[in-house]
Amino acid sequence: PEDVGILHLHLVVPGAYVDQNDLETFHGVSAGKYTIGLGQSKMGFCSDREDINSICMTALSQLVQKSGISYSDIGRLEVGTETILDKSKSVKSVLMQLFEECGNYDVEGIDTTNACFGGTSALMNAVAWVESSAWDGRLAVVIAGDIAVYAEGSARPTGGAGAIAMLVGPNAPLVIERGLRATFMAHAYDFYKPNLDSEYPVVDGKLSIQCYLKALDKCYQGYCQKARKLSGLTGESNDAVGLNSFDGMVFHSPYCKLVEKSFARLVLNDFTNTPKELIPEVYPGLERFVGVKLEETYFDRDVEKGFMAYSKELYKKKTYPSLLLSNQVGNMYTASLYGGLVSYLCSKPVQDLVGQRVGLFSYGSGLASSMFSIKIVEGQKLLDLVSNLKYVHTMLNIRKKVDPIEFSKTMEIREENHSKAPYVPIGPLEWLLPGYWYLTEVDQNHKRFYKRM
C-alpha cells in the first residue's frame, strides 16, 4: 500500500473548564504566572462521570459516525494512554463493546503505555500493520487519550484532558513520510506514576523540562541526519535540511510556553550546524553564541532569549497555529501532540495546507521520544478531513466555565473515589457535551457501566 497515513481525525475534550486567570487568583500566585508564564488560558477537566474508557468511547464512536465508516471496516484498533484504571484489562477491550452491534470481533491491537508517548507508539504500530504482510485490507484506528491531573502545587495548572481518534490507511491525505523518523529513548525519573492508588504522578518539573529539551535536540538531529542521507546530501552544513524543510512544526505540549521555547531550540540546533563563517550573515546578532554546547544551554537565559527573539516570526508561522487546543484545554498527555496537529489543520484555508510538510515531535517522560513528519496531499480526502474538523471551535465554545472552588472539589472527589467499588458517580451531567459517553456505575466487582448522552 502507498501513502499510508491519517484519513480522518476526531478530537474530544471535556465539557467543563477552569479559567487560568481565576486559578491564579485562587492559588494566590502572582497574576500572569499561568497565563503568561506558562501560556495557558483554560484547563479542561473531567468530573467522576468520565474516565479513560468513557472518553475513548466518545472519541471512537464520534470518529466512526463522522467519517462514515462502519465498525466492520476496522481491522486494527490501538489505544495509547497513561491513564490506568486496570493493570490487566485494556481500554481497547472495553471499546470492543462498540463493535458488538455489527459482529466484528476480528480486530487486532491492544494498549500501549509510556507517559505521553503511547499514542505515537500506537500510531507507528498501526502504520506498520498497514504496510505489513499481516494487513488484510481494512482500516486501522488509533486512539490516544488521557485525563491529566496533578496534585495541588506548581504542576496543577498544567493538567488537562482529551482523546483523539485517528483513522489510518493507504492513500491518505496526511501521509506519514517513510524513512523520516528519529527516536531517542533513555532511562529517567522525570515524571512517573509509581503509586497505583493515585491518579497523580510524581514529577520533577525542572528535570522533566531538561529531559524534554534534550530529547528534542536528539530527535531533531537524528531526523535531519536521516533526511540528509535520503536526499543524498553529505556535507556538514545543515542548510538543506533544517527548519526550512518544514512548513509547520508541531510539538507535544505540556504548556504553550515550553513549545515556544522548543521552537527556538530548533533554531539553536540549526545554528550549531551552521559553519562559523556563515553565522553573521544567517544569524545576525547571535554571533556571540558561536561555540555554545547544546547540553549546556537547557536553562541558559541568554541563549533562550536570544533565539526566541530571533525566531519569533518563524514561530508565529510554523508553530503558533498548532497551540489552540493546548492553550484552551491544557495538556492532554498522549493526545496533546495530535491536538496540536488538529489545531494546525484548523488554522488556515485548505489550499494553504496542500503540499506542506509538517514535523511532529512526540515526548513521553521516563523517557520515550520521536520526531517524524507528515506530507499533506491535495484532493477530496483532504477536503473531507479538514471539513470534519469544523466542529472544533464550536466544541470549545459550548463548554461550561466552572469556578476554581468547584474544580478543586471535583479533584478531591476524583481523588477519594479513584478505584472505589461499589461506586456511583455524582458529577453533573451538564458538564458533558452531546454524544459523550459517561460512567453510570462501578459495581462491587469493579465492573464499570456506561451510557451515552
User: Which residues would be at the binding site for ligand ACO (CB under 6 A)?
Assistant: 30-33, 36-38, 116, 154-155, 158, 191, 203, 205, 208-209, 212, 254, 257-258, 365
Distance (Å, whole) CA 95 – CA 58: 10
> Closest separation between CB of residue 1 and ligand ACO, Å?
33
CB nearer to ligand ACO: pick between 37 and 321: 37
Residue with CB nearest ligand ACO? 37
The catalytic residue among 24, 46, 78, 116 is 116
Distance (Å, whole) CA 376 – CA 272: 29
Nearest to residue 238, comparing CAs of 220, 250, 252?
Answer: 220
CB 307 within 8 A of CB 268: yes
Known catalytic membership, residue 252 = yes
CB nearer to ligand ACO: pick between 23 and 38: 38
Known catalytic membership, residue 416 = no
> Closest separation between CB of residue 205 and ligand ACO, Å?
3
Residue type, 183: T
Q: What angle do CA 129, 143, 378 make, to 5 degrees?
A: 70
User: Which phi and psi (to 5°) does residue 212 adopt?
Assistant: -60, -50
CB nearer to ligand ACO: pick between 30 and 234: 30
Distance (Å, whole) CA 157 – CA 45: 11
CB nearer to ligand ACO: pick between 58 and 336: 336
Distance (Å, whole) CA 230 – CA 64: 37
Rg (CA), the chain: 22
Residue 300 grid cell: 541558559
> Closest separation between CB of residue 82 and ligand ACO, Å?
10
> Closest separation between CB of residue 60 and ligand ACO, Å?
24
CB nearer to ligand ACO: pick between 7 and 155: 155
The catalytic residue among 252, 256, 260, 346 is 252
What three-state secondary structure class fits 33?
Answer: helix
DSSP string, 347-414: SS-HHHHTT-EEEEEEEETTTEEEEEEEEE--SHHHHHHHHTTTHHHHHHHTPEE--HHHHHHHHHHH
CB nearer to ligand ACO: pick between 283 and 333: 333
Residue 31 grid cell: 497574576
Residue 80 grid cell: 495509547
CB under 8 Å to 29, separation ≥6 — which residues? none
> Closest separation between CB of residue 64 and ligand ACO, Å?
29
17, β-bridge pairs:
44, 401
Give the residue numbers marked as catalytic.
82, 116, 252
